[in-house]
DNA sequence: AATGAATGAGGGTTCATTCAT
DNA sequence: AATGAATGAACCCTCATTCAT
């Protein structure tokens, strides 16, 4: 490709001149102004959160730099501060965004008709594992948040809510199976706790040693053991 | 004894020549680097590690300041660097110190005579919980290390070894019970993985929400469920 | 003009697609990284180099503090690092700036018409002496660079180039006089070396003892001696 | 060589045990106490100065560390301060030691009988070049001192004295030749200045570019040119 | 709305110097 | 006389945040 000479106009436009020869030139004038509509705010926030997830996941909450996030979001550093008033604010924003979506899968599965509780769980962990495998940074960030929970009330509160809901949903799932007579269950709350612990524990083992634990194999086995133990 | 002629080399060594006769000589080259007083050395390292555990646990690995660690160790900042050549080095030093001691309890319990596997596990978790309750920073630091494992090979490797040994010890414990006919166990390796996952999972739930989970109650229950599930 | 669809890439680029028809499209990928305002950039660099020259000259390369340079440049310390990525980088930047300008005088004098070589040299040293007298730090820095050349390849390379050019220019000047029959000269390269040595040697003597050597008197005398020696 | 086990006694002795086998051992007990005599002081100072020359030459005055000098001197850091009360003091000590010896060669040559002044000079530069070639750090340190002269009166004063004596000796040498009628010389002081400048200038050119200037060839040529110019 | 130049407090690390043994 | 453990001031560099344009 021949040389390209962009020229920045005062009207948020870029004129790109493509000099085929010295005297023949293609001019493309492009209005660079992004669409102004009320959704800008949420679009930018998405953009930033996505960048934050990537960078925080890669470097950790403390070591990640706002510059890097701005670069990944294709925005200037200053613009970040139009949408999040501090790095801390961004951390909490990401926390909320991530964990508010985390249980969507589980809720969907609970609403599926006609499956045993065990089948639902197997189904669920398959989806979770796929998600985690598709983006390693998700797990990284989770542990970042766990580590930080002890020091930051906002994070701890959010995680408390999250795990509370998590256990509540699993208890509901187990109640379904109990109502259908799949197993005699004494305390579905206690069992839900055990289930969450198993899932989180296996995930930790996988996280610290990808070679020693294969979640696609291990988790279904563990789930089945769990349900066998109930009867 | 004949005359001895020491010669001082440039490499902190002394070459000692022992002239048996004029023409026959024994040369002994000895490194004179007097071992830096090993008592002081290990005392200071302990002092620093203790301070590091406290400060890292309180503020997190990244946010902790070397000044604070020096203060907590009642040493000057410069002295820290006589024993650990960087903050990173100190982090790894602490990691090794902590996790190398973590399994001592478990090993001791395995060697106790005449208990069922279940009783041993109940015993073990009681001790662990006591330990964690006595110093909250222990758990904080653990999660710091987990979070950092993804980015730092040295940490990841250490954790891999740690969890590998952990599972190995639990498998050995389960084999003991199996040999005594306490339960029919197919795969003690798989069961050990489940056990570690349960323990770690419950710990995480407790860590994120001290009000929702009481490990003194929960862990024994979970252990019993586990052993019931085996039969 | 047909519709234009810009697409924002992750690399600060915009791909502009010009759909001539549905199936034929011109793609122009343009780097949108707006050139960091080049005026400000060069202005700041000048500002910083000027301050660096002053402070390095006053305190020496190693003893000079970045704080002082920032103060002298009326900028914050952080700003220094926007333009030079380290103290080392600044040292090399100053080296290049100083020595690239050092020979401008000599080139100008060589291009003056109608003077004997001797007259040109007299003229040249007068200017040089004026320059050095007007700012003592110039000489200081030169000797800093000489001292550092042995340890830093970047500095050594630059000085080699500088002295190479210096000798080349003087050789050219001497060739001019030779061509005009002012003196029978065998080897203008060797003579140029002698000339540079004389100038640098006298400068050193002056530098170490301002009272013993007066360059305004000494250098012309030495130059005349040199040319007398040629015949 | 088999393993050697040194043991440090309380009486400044080292016992070296050479275990030929487990039961047969050679013991060499060596008194490590260095001889206590009134010359200790000057011996240590020599030791330290030698180390300082090496390390300062290698790293520069500012970048050299007292630790390195202590190591090179095979002494502890504390001992350095028994003989020189500060790094600065050591710098000045080295300066004096080096430059007080620098003119010994020249004085010796002046006192040789029956040579022309030119022959003496040729002789002298040969020795000087040999000296510089044998230990590159000598030149390095010289330029360190030149660079520092502007900021430190003690250094400047010493260099002034040195160059003053240097010129005086060369003037005396030239007077000898003049007295013998080797050349008609108007001002031997001025000629001595020229000579020093030539020597120092050539040395600088060699120092900054070892490939462009070969002092063994260049200096004799320059000397001869100088004497030719006198007649 | 967006930019990016500028800031400056803060942290990790170094190293000359001291001093108890 | 000699040691080396300890100190702490100093310095380079980073990076979250601000603000004029």
DSSP bridge partners of D19: D25
Give me the mean pLDDT over the D37-43 stretch.
74
Task: Enter the tokens of residue D191.
Answer: 């000629």
- Range of lowest pLDDT (A3-17, A83-97, C213-227): A3-17
Hey, are the CB atoms on C4 and A32 less than 8 Å from each other?
A: no
- Range of lowest pLDDT (A64-73, B34-43, B99-108): B34-43
Better pLDDT: A209 or A17: A209
User: Is A228 an 8 Å CB contact of chain B?
Assistant: yes
Distance A6 CA to E6 C1' (A): 28
By C-alpha distance, the chain D residue nearest B3 is D30
The gap between the terminal CA atoms of chain C, to the nearest Å, is 78
Q: What's the CA angle centered on C156, arms C152 and C162, to 5 degrees?
A: 150
Q: What pLDDT is recorded for position B186?
A: 77
The C13-19 sheet, strands edge to edge = C4-8, C13-19, C25-31
CB D196 within 8 A of CB D167: yes
For residue C229, the chain D residues in CB contact (below 8 A) are 225-226, 228-229
Task: Enter the tokens of residue A107.
Answer: 């809720």
Q: What pLDDT is recorded for position A209?
A: 94
- What sign does the CA torsion over D208, D212, D214, D219 have? negative
For residue A194, the chain B residues in CB contact (below 8 A) are 198, 222, 225
- Extract long-range pairs of D29-37: CB within 8 Å, 24+ residues apart: D29/B1, D30/B4, D30/B6, D30/B14, D30/B16, D32/B6, D32/B14
Element (H, E) at A47: helix A40-59
CB C120 within 8 A of CB C108: no
User: Is A14 an 8 Å CB contact of chain C?
Assistant: yes
CB A146 within 8 A of CB A140: no
Measured CA distances, A131 to A65, A106, A126, A144, C93 (Å): 26, 13, 9, 18, 50
DSSP B1: -
Distance A86 CA to F17 C1' (A): 8
- Range of lowest pLDDT (A132-146, B105-119, B173-187, C20-34): C20-34
Q: Scan residues 77-116 of chain B and list those with Cβ within 7 Å of strand E.
A: 77-78, 81, 85-88
User: Is A183 an 8 Å CB contact of chain C?
Assistant: no
Instruction: Please give the mean pLDDT across all residues of chain C.
Output: 87
Whether chains C and B touch (3+ CB pairs under 8 A) is answered by no
Q: Is the CB of C135 under 7 A from strand F?
A: no
Q: What pLDDT is recorded for position A24?
A: 47
Residue D19: pLDDT above 70?
A: no
Characterize the bridge pairing of strands D4-8 and D13-19: antiparallel
Q: Is the CB of A27 under 7 A from strand F?
A: no
Most confident of C95-109, D40-54, D192-206: D192-206
- Report how far residue B208's alpha carbon sits from residue B212's, in angstroms, rounded to the nearest whole number: 9
Better pLDDT: D12 or D211: D211
Residue C12: pLDDT above 50?
A: no
User: Is D4 an 8 Å CB contact of chain B?
Assistant: yes
Of the pLDDT bands very low, low, confident and very high (cuts 50, 70, 90), residue B24 is: low
Give me the mean pLDDT over the A175-195 stretch.
91
Residue B15: pLDDT above 90?
A: no
The gap between the terminal CA atoms of chain A, to the nearest Å, is 71
Condensed to tens digits (0 to 9), the pLDDT of residues B32-45 reads: 444 457 788 899 99
H-state helical runs in chain D? 40-59, 66-72, 77-83, 87-102, 104-111, 117-134, 136-149, 153-179, 188-208, 215-230
Residue A14: pLDDT above 90?
A: no
Of the pLDDT bands very low, low, confident and very high (cuts 50, 70, 90), residue D33 is: very low
Give me the mean pLDDT over the A196-214 stretch.
95
The size of chain D, in residues, is 231
DSSP bridge partners of A31: A13
Q: What pLDDT is recorded for position B184?
A: 86
Task: Enter the tokens of residue B10.
Answer: 């440039």
Distance C78 CA to E8 C1' (A): 7
Element (H, E) at B209: none
For residue C223, the chain D residues in CB contact (below 8 A) are none
Instruction: Please give the mean pLDDT across all residues of chain B.
Output: 87
Residue B9: pLDDT above 50?
A: no
- Report how far residue C190's alpha carbon sits from residue D214's, in angstroms, rounded to the nearest whole number: 12
User: Is B190 an 8 Å CB contact of chain A?
Assistant: yes
Q: Is the CB of B67 under 7 A from strand E?
A: yes
Distance C40 CA to E2 C1' (A): 19
Nearest partner of C4 among A31, A108, D201, B118, judged by Cα: A31
CB C192 within 8 A of CB C164: no
- Report how far residue D148's alpha carbon sits from residue C165's, in angstroms, rounded to the nearest whole number: 27
- Report how far residue D217's alpha carbon sits from residue C155's, in angstroms, rounded to the nearest whole number: 26
Condensed to tens digits (0 to 9), the pLDDT of residues A19-58 reads: 554 444 455 554 444 444 567 778 889 999 999 999 999 9
Q: Which of C1, C12, C31 sits opposite A74 (nearest CB)?
A: C12
Q: What pLDDT is recorded for position B207?
A: 95
Q: What pLDDT is recorded for position A34?
A: 42
Q: What is the largest CA-CA distance in chain A?
A: 86
Q: Scan residues 55-94 of chain C and list those with Cβ within 7 Å of strand F.
A: 64-67, 77-78, 81, 85-88
Helix (H, G, I), strand (E, B) or coil at C18: strand
Condensed to tens digits (0 to 9), the pLDDT of residues C151-192 reads: 999 999 999 999 999 999 999 999 999 999 999 877 999 999
Distance A36 CA to F17 C1' (A): 27
Of the pLDDT bands very low, low, confident and very high (cuts 50, 70, 90), residue D34 is: very low
Element (H, E) at A12: none
- Report how far residue B66's alpha carbon sits from residue A72's, in angstroms, rounded to the nearest whole number: 31
* CB count in 10 Å sphere of residue B150: 21
Helix (H, G, I), strand (E, B) or coil at D129: helix
- Report how far residue A54's alpha carbon sits from residue A52's, in angstroms, rounded to the nearest whole number: 5
Give me the mean pLDDT over the C103-110 stretch.
94
Instruction: Please give the mean pLDDT across all residues of chain A.
Output: 86
DSSP C3: -
Better pLDDT: A32 or D43: D43
Q: Which of A164, A194, A225 sits opposite B222 (nearest CB)?
A: A194
Q: Is the CB of D100 under 7 A from strand F?
A: no
Give me the mean pLDDT over the D116-124 stretch.
95
Measured CA distances, B125 to B177, C85, D96 (Å): 17, 53, 73
Q: What pLDDT is recorded for position D37?
A: 56
Residue D205: pLDDT above 80?
A: yes
The gap between the terminal CA atoms of chain B, to the nearest Å, is 78
Q: How far is B10 from chain D (nearest CA, A)?
A: 7
Q: What pLDDT is recorded for position A11?
A: 43
Condensed to tens digits (0 to 9), the pLDDT of residues B198-211 reads: 999 999 999 999 99
User: Is A224 an 8 Å CB contact of chain B?
Assistant: no
Of the pLDDT bands very low, low, confident and very high (cuts 50, 70, 90), residue D41 is: confident
Interface of B with A in 40-69 (CB under 8 A): 58-63
Distance C147 CA to F7 C1' (A): 32
Q: What pLDDT is recorded for position D197?
A: 97
Q: Is the CB of D34 under 7 A from strand F?
A: yes
- Report how far residue C103's alpha carbon sits from residue C110's, in angstroms, rounded to the nearest whole number: 11
* CB count in 10 Å sphere of residue B196: 21
Give me the mean pLDDT over the B137-143 stretch.
94
User: Is D199 an 8 Å CB contact of chain C?
Assistant: yes
Residue B109: pLDDT above 60?
A: yes
CA–centroid distance for D27 within its chain: 42
Element (H, E) at C231: none
Residue A110: pLDDT above 50?
A: yes
Measured CA distances, D14 to B8, B18, B34, D5 (Å): 14, 14, 11, 10
Encode A149-182: b = buried (16+ Cβ within 10 Å), e = exposed: bbebeebbebbbebbebbbebbbebbbbbbeeeb
Measured CA distances, C58 to A27, B37, C96, C138 (Å): 54, 44, 19, 10
- What sign does the CA torsion over A189, A195, A198, A202 have? negative
DSSP bridge partners of B150: none
**Pick among D3, D8, D9, D14 to test the B interface (most B CBs inside 10 A):** D14
Q: What pLDDT is recorded for position D120?
A: 96
Better pLDDT: A17 or C200: C200
- Report how far residue B165's alpha carbon sits from residue A53's, in angstroms, rounded to the nearest whole number: 33
Measured CA distances, A209 to A134, A138, B197 (Å): 17, 16, 13
Q: CA neighbours within 13 Å on the CB side: how many for B133? A: 10
Condensed to tens digits (0 to 9), the pLDDT of residues B53-82 reads: 999 999 999 999 999 999 999 999 999 999
Bases of chain F with protein Cβ within 7 A:
1-20
The gap between the terminal CA atoms of chain D, to the nearest Å, is 70
Hey, are the CB atoms on C205 and D148 less than 8 Å from each other?
A: no
Beta-carbon contacts below 8 Å between A and B? 148
Of the pLDDT bands very low, low, confident and very high (cuts 50, 70, 90), residue D231 is: confident
By C-alpha distance, the chain B residue nearest D1 is B28
Nearest partner of D24 among D2, D39, D46, D43, judged by Cα: D2
Residue D185: pLDDT above 90?
A: no
Element (H, E) at B182: none
User: Is A30 an 8 Å CB contact of chain C?
Assistant: yes
Distance A75 CA to E3 C1' (A): 9
Spell out the residues 6+ positions from residue A153 whose beta carbon is closer than 8 angstroms to its own: none
By C-alpha distance, the chain C residue nearest A18 is C28
């Amino acid at each position: 490709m021949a040389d390209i000479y962009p020229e920045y106009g005062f009207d948020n436009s870029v004129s790109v001149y493509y000099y085929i020869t010295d005297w023949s030139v293609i001019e493309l004038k492009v209005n660079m102004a992004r669409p102004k509509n009320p959704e800008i705010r949420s679009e930018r926030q998405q953009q930033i959160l996505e960048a934050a997830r990537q960078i925080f996941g890669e470097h950790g909450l403390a070591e990640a730099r706002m510059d890097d996030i701005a670069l990944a979001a294709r925005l200037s550093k200053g613009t970040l501060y139009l949408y999040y008033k501090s790095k801390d604010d961004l951390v909490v924003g990401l926390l909320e965004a991530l964990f508010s979506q985390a249980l969507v899968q589980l809720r969907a599965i609970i609403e599926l008709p006609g499956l045993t509780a065990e089948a639902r769980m197997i189904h669920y962990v398959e989806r979770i594992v796929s998600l985690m495998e598709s983006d390693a940074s998700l797990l990284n960030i989770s542990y970042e948040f766990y580590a930080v929970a002890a020091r930051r009330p906002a994070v701890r509160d959010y995680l408390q809510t999250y795990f509370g809901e998590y256990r509540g949903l699993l208890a509901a799932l187990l109640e379904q199976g109990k109502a259908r007579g799949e197993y005699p269950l004494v305390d579905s709350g206690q069992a839900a706790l055990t289930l969450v612990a198993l899932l989180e524990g296996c995930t930790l083992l996988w996280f610290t040693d990808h070679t020693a634990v294969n979640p696609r194999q291990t988790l279904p086995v563990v789930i089945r053991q769990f349900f066998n133990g109930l009867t």
